[in-house]
Amino acid sequence: MGPVDVHSPVAEHAAELARARKDIVRIATAGSVDDGKSTLIGRLLYDSKAIFEDQYEAVARASKGDHVDLALLTDGLRAEREQGITIDVAYRYFTTPRRTFVLADTPGHVQYTRNMVTGASTADLAIVLVDARRGMVEQSRRHAFLASLLRVPHLVVAVNKMDLVGWSEEVFDRIADEFDAFAAKLSVPDLTVVPISALHGDNVVRHSPNTPWYEGPTLLHHLEHVHVASDRNLTDARFPVQYVIRPQTDEHHDYRGYAGTVASGVFRVGDEVQVLPSGLTTTIAGIDGPRGPVEEAFAPMSVTLRLDDDLDVSRGDLIGKPENVPTATQDLDALVCWMTDEPLRPRQRIAVKHTTRSVRAVVKELAYRLDVNTLHRDREATELGLNDIGRVRLRATQPLFVDDYTRNRATGRFILVDEATNATVGAGMLTPAG
């Protein structure tokens, strides 16, 4: 292979596209083993030209049969290939001239809840795959429910294998209607349904001649244009202190800065702020960003705040605005997704990590266990097993500074850690009791 002419118009164009200012959109995909999820992801990666040639060739060699098996592009570990399953959340990257995508690919088998919750936790958009021949099945409901539980703002239902139902508009409409009705119950803010064939590429990147009745966007077009900027909370200023910076050098003798990531809202130099738990107020003297001082900081910038008064502020404290602070509470009412074999039971002791604050807590009460298929609340339940979701009340040894998860994903979430094994065993979303 000869060297690339880096000054050719093609190279210059490619470099220009690469340099373009883009935003990142995070996607979670869910689907069961047979509905073609791996093929769809392979298709997205391949058709968006993100599949590097050598990976493609390795797959071409490993594929059985005549056609290249796109699913092999995503089945990562040898252990998985041998067993024909996907073990864990895998992350993929692809980029188009408009956007760059981080895709959390979650398997659809037994560990589905734990993995899907993990993948959906950071997602702007979730893709649920449905086999057109089978329509909306139990697992599709479950995936849609988990996406809504995690407050993923955009849900896409990809009705796959449309070629196997003769590209029937009627079949597609029926599935779309079913999903609409179900989504209405879940408070899914934005639902889009697309008829596709991942195997043949219809409506994935290019409009399909087989679906003249479909006037909506292709899947990729939707991913590229869905409006994610307004999903963030820019109203409630929240800054969990992560690390205190004190250089203690001659040059920066008096420097004392509070480093952290803006969880939500906007902070500006000169703003009056209130520090929790002390409740003391002061003003922002300066904000240092990665390239020096800035006038303002917003989520998810990592910055360092300097304050006008010399207060006692440490990791785990939260800086807010006096007229708008989160609730300080030791009682945590939350929907908890349990992620380990040993069940969660009342009176159990557990560690909680919320923003940058870690506290110990005791499980006071299990109000109910949720059946993720029927949404039925089982109030007789005495424990939460692996992959169960339930409403739990915890009592923490110290106050946490919280908001409802529905209002603020950043300050409404926590993880649960087993104090003996140190394993992450649960994920919690704070919601008002009810």
Partner 1 sequence: MRTPDYRLSQLETLEAESIHVIREVAAELERPVLLFSGGKDSIVMLELARKAFAPARIPFPVMHVDTGLNFPDVLEFRDKRVAELGVELIVASVPDAMARGVVREEPNGSRNRIQTPVLLDAVEEHGFTALFGGARRDEDKARAKERMFSFRDEFGQWDPKSQRPELWDLYNGRIHLGESLRVFPLSNWTELDVWQYIAREEIAIPPLYLAEEREVVERQGMLYAVNEFVRPRDGERPFRALVRYRTVGDANLTAAVRSEATTVADVIAEIAVTRMTERGATRGDDKVSDAAMEDRKKEGYF
Window 92 to 111, contacts with partner 1 (CB under 8 A): 92-93, 95, 100, 102
Alpha-carbon span 400 to 418, nearest angstrom: 19
Q: Write each residue from 114 to 153 as x if it is in contact with partner 1 (CB under 8 A), else as -, in one continuous string.
A: xx-xx--xx-------------------------------
Q: Write each residue from 284 to 323 as x if it is in contact with partner 1 (CB under 8 A), else as -, in one continuous string.
A: ----x-xx--xxx-x-xxx------------x--------
Question: Residue 118 Cβ, how far from partner 1 at the closest point, in Å?
Answer: 5
Question: Residue 334 Cβ, how far from partner 1 at the closest point, in Å?
Answer: 13
Judged by beta carbon, residue 73 or residue 162, the one nearer partner 1 is 73
Judged by beta carbon, residue 111 or residue 203, the one nearer partner 1 is 111
Judged by beta carbon, residue 11 or residue 184, the one nearer partner 1 is 11
Q: Which two tokens stand for residue 33?
A: 């083993």
Contact between 323 and 274 under an 8 Å Cβ cutoff? The reply is no
Question: Residue 113 Cβ, how far from partner 1 at the closest point, in Å?
Answer: 10
Q: Which of residues 340-359 bind partner 1 (CB under 8 A)?
A: 351, 353-354, 356
Contact between 37 and 105 under an 8 Å Cβ cutoff? The reply is yes
Question: Residue 266 Cβ, how far from partner 1 at the closest point, in Å?
Answer: 7
Question: For residue 80, what are the CA distances in angstroms to 69, 86, 149, 357?
Answer: 15, 6, 29, 37
Residue 60 binds partner 1 (CB under 8 A): no
Q: Which of residues 372-411 bind partner 1 (CB under 8 A)?
A: 409-410
H/E stretch holding 392: strand 389-402
* Block residue for tokens 């734990």: 114
Q: Write each residue from 163 to 202 as x if it is in contact with partner 1 (CB under 8 A), else as -, in one continuous string.
A: ----------------------------------------
Alpha-carbon span 202 to 188, nearest angstrom: 26
DSSP E strands in 125-246: the ranges are 125-131, 154-160, 190-195, 239-240, 243-245
Judged by beta carbon, residue 160 or residue 356, the one nearer partner 1 is 356
Residue 11 binds partner 1 (CB under 8 A): yes
Q: Which span sits near partner 1 by CB under 8 A: 183-191, 217-225, 238-246, 374-382?
A: 238-246
User: Which of these, 409, 431, 338, 372, lies nearest to 124 by C-alpha position?
Assistant: 409
Amino acid identity of residue 347, one-letter, is R
Q: Under 8 Å CB-to-CB from 358, ≥6 apart: which residues?
A: 316, 351, 352
Amino acid identity of residue 247, one-letter, is P
Q: Under 8 Å CB-to-CB from 336, ≥6 apart: which residues?
A: 344, 384, 389, 390, 391, 392, 416, 426, 427, 428, 429
Judged by beta carbon, residue 48 or residue 211, the one nearer partner 1 is 48
Question: Residue 70 Cβ, how far from partner 1 at the closest point, in Å?
Answer: 14
Question: Residue 95 Cβ, how far from partner 1 at the closest point, in Å?
Answer: 7
Q: Which of 22, 134, 174, 207 binds partner 1 (CB under 8 A)?
A: 22
